[in-house]
Structure 1
Amino acid sequence: MSQTPAVPRILIVKLSSLGDVVHAMPAVQDLRLAYPQAQIDWVVEAAFAPLVARCEGVQQVIPCALRQWRKAPFSARTRSEWRAFKTRLQAQAYDAVIDLQGLSKSALVSWLARTTPGGKRYGLANQTEGSGFEAPARWVADVAIEIEPHVHAVQRSRILCAAGLGYVLQGPAQWGLRPGALVSVQPVKQGDNPFVPKKAVVALVHGTSRADKEWPQSSWVELGRRLNHAGFAVALLHGNAAEKATSEAIAAQLHDAWVWPAMALDAMTDTLAHCAGAVGVDSGVSHIAVALDLPHVQIYNFDTAWRTGPEVLAGTDAATAPRLPLRQVSVYGQPQPTVDAVWEAWDGLATPVLCQ
């Protein structure tokens, strides 16, 4: 029986968006298990580089700024930054270049990357439900892998890597997202630690780039009141001025809530990791809460949780799922889930104790 050859140098190409980047992290953990000695590098949009740097097993993060460069493709700054990116990308040859995105932009990066004499480029051969796919991804790949169309976003990346590099997936997904040192997000009095609260903190992730994914402000207020009554403090996140205004409006109607200041993605991840749990809409930050293994309820206005939401353990069904203490669940409703449905889901989670 022949042994699978060692693959010491692997390049992951997954550029964006935030949620998609998070969903690719378990594939890195699989690669680490299959090839413990591998050097794994990752090309990603610069905005998400601090998060990828917190993914266990990633040795080098290679940031690019394709979103920015395409706004002014012929400017001197773009040309200079593009040359610097190519130099860094091509500084090392890889035994495997794995395009987990399947788009023209990721195919371009895969094509530009150098491979060793026996190295290969791997990519998707087809589109899966709810995900983008463009033909260059298949043309560039030396090995294009057919994926079952009805597949969870996390499993798509895991399956592609396993099929391409010849190993068998072992167990449920592990994200390997390790938070850094705690960042203070409140004014600190001398001798105080803002994260030794009298009450456990639940983060409410209401922000999303799509209006049709939002949950009504009145529902957030009612949920926050129930959390306060149950003994939890509430933290409200925001990523822009409009989301900050919403956070402030919600907090103003609660008796134990505070609005986080604007934070970089890495600082936000580190701070979120110290919360007792989170409730959020389908968004990148909400998926970070999943990767951090926080008790979490994810809210869906569309029946797409099967593709991007927390996965139910294999073998569960309608008869056994209610008895299974889950840490993370998705709640779907039209036109949106009710507060009662979200609260019931939260109340049924395997949550930590309120106070230490």
Structure 2
Amino acid sequence: MRILIVKLSSLGDVVHAMPAVQDIRHAHPEAEIDWVVERGFAPLVRRCDGVHRVIECELRRWRKTPLAPATRAAWTAFKRELQAQAYDAVIDLQGLTKSALVAWLARLTPSGRRFGLANQTEGSSFEAPARWVAHVAVSLPPHIHAVARSRQLCARVLGYLPPSSSSFGLLAQVNQAQSAIHSEASGDAAPLGQVALVHGTSRADKQWPLAHWQALGQRLNEAGYGVVLPHGSAAEEATSHEIASNLPNATVWPRLGLDALTDALAACAGVIGVDSGLSHMAVALDLPHVQIYNFDTAWRTGPTGPAGKAVASGQRRQCSVFAHPAPSLDAVWQVWLGISVVRQPV
């Protein structure tokens, strides 16, 4: 069986689709699974265990200059690669016009079918062409976690029950990361390892106060952890340096591609971060993690338990913490203490 997954973006959404791939592999070990994704996220999808071929597109860039010769050449090359293989099932996990277009362009076997969503779920985007293009459109409960959304769609399409537990299958090379990135930090000064503080997010209303990050870094240093600070933009880099400026053991990472970032995160003792793609990567890597929410949306995107339900403080080592306008420093710290003990030396 040849299956094509269409999930183009964004970083967190791509991570949330990975457990569906692992479910398919469990139910259909013989399946050959390809994935269409925006080029910027392709390095991460190549780390997803079980993905046979990653087909890159750049729809975000192409639509800015649709008639440019370079765009037309790139579009032609993309269609050629997409249609090089015929599929028994094309599954659109995104539910947007752009993903429906990709699904429509994909080539099917004589008995092949296109599958997609029939309805919008709370907090997610949905556009009608996704339903029109699909041979079979699947209705899902409107109140559903982002991970369960993809898992249930694939299960309904391919005729199996999702396992009670989930796995992301995100693979990392920890030894390489330790030597390449963590060598800058002092191991003697951080006997419990490094904790990544993921402060960057594309939405200002998801940010946590700078003073909280600085105070959290101080508590981590005093407890025996080093602090490392990833960033993805000039503004985030400046914030990273501001957080690190008064900490005795803090390292601002260089700008990293997704490959190196995956490896570097995997080598950390844990991650504390706002609702962002990097935080969702921490969950996928099964790291001790506190995910900070200024809005009550952890039920939809936060860490999930064995039954696919959002996990709150005190239930396991990957937890969300919510308060409005923002969780307090003490609230985040207490959750961290509750989950980090799992990884601390005896």
TM range (shorter): over 0.9
1:165 and 2:158 aligned: yes
Q: 1:317 to 1:87 in 2, by over 3 A?
A: closer
Matches within 5 A, 1:189-268: 198-268=191-261
Counterpart selection for 2:90 from 84, 87, 97: 97
- Matches of 1:253 and 1:311 in 2, distance apart? 35
Letter in 2 for 1:153: A
Query: Over residues 79-127 of structure 1, what are the superposed CA-to-partner deviations in whole Å (9 max), with x where a residue is unaligned?
Result: 0000000000000100000000000000000000001000100000000
Specify the alignment match of 1:43 in structure 2: 36
Aligned residues: 344
Residues 249-328 of structure 1 mapped to structure 2, 5 A cutoff: 249-314=242-307, 324=315, 326-328=316-318
Residues 8-157 of structure 1 correspond to what in structure 2 (within 5 A)?
A: 8-157=1-150
Q: Distance in 2 between matches of 1:234 and 1:248?
A: 12
Indicate if the aligned counterparts of 1:104 and 1:137 stay in contact, CA closer than 8 A. yes
Deviation for aligned residue 1:232: 0.5
TM-score with structure 1 setting the length:
0.92
Q: CA distance change for structure 1 residues 185 and 310 in 2, over 3 Å: closer, same or farther?
A: same
Change (3 A) 1:206 1:316: closer
Q: 1:330 aligns with which of 307, 315, 320?
A: 320
Letter in 1 for 2:264: T
Partner residue in 2 for 1:345? 335
Runs of 4+ in 1 over 6 A off after TM superposition: 192-197, 315-318
- Cα distance in 2, alignment partners of residues 79 and 194 from structure 1: 51
Look up the equivalent residue of 1:46 and give its one-letter code.
R
Q: Which amino acid aligns with 2:293?
A: Y
Q: Does the CA-based 8 Å contact 1:206-1:281 persist in structure 2?
A: yes
- Provide the rounded CA distance (Å) in 1 between the counterparts of 2:331 and 2:216: 10
Counterpart CA distance in 1 for 2:68 and 2:24 is: 39
Equivalent-residue separation in structure 1 for 2:160 and 2:265 (angstroms): 34
Identify unmatched segments of 5+ residues in structure 2: none
Provide the rounded CA distance (Å) in 2 between the counterparts of 1:323 and 1:71.
Answer: 47
Q: Give per-residue Cα distances to partners, 1:178-198, cap 9 Å, x unaligned.
A: 113623445969xx9989964
CA contact (8 A) 2:195 2:270 kept: yes
How far has the Cα of 1:170 moved from its partner? 1.2
Distance change >3 Å, CA 169–CA 188, structure 1 → 2: closer
Structure with more of its chain in helix, by fraction = 2
**Any idea what the Cα deviations from partners look like across 1:123-155, whole Å, max 9, x if unmatched?**
000000000000000000001000000000000
SS at structure 1 position matched to 2:339 = coil
Structure 1 residue runs without a partner (length 5+): 1-7
Aligned residue for 1:349, secondary structure, equals helix
In structure 2, what is the equivalent of residue 5 of structure 1? none
**Cα distance change of structure 1 residues 97 and 271 upon mapping to structure 2, 3 Å threshold:** same
Shift of 1:175: 0.3
Distance 2:280 2:182 in 1: 28
Cα separation, partners in 2 of 1:317 and 1:9, compared to 1, 3 Å: closer
Q: Deviations over 1:296-329 (max 9, x none)?
A: 00000000000000124449999xx8764x1100
1:332 maps to a residue whose letter is F
Shift of residue 173, structure 1, vs aligned partner: 1.6
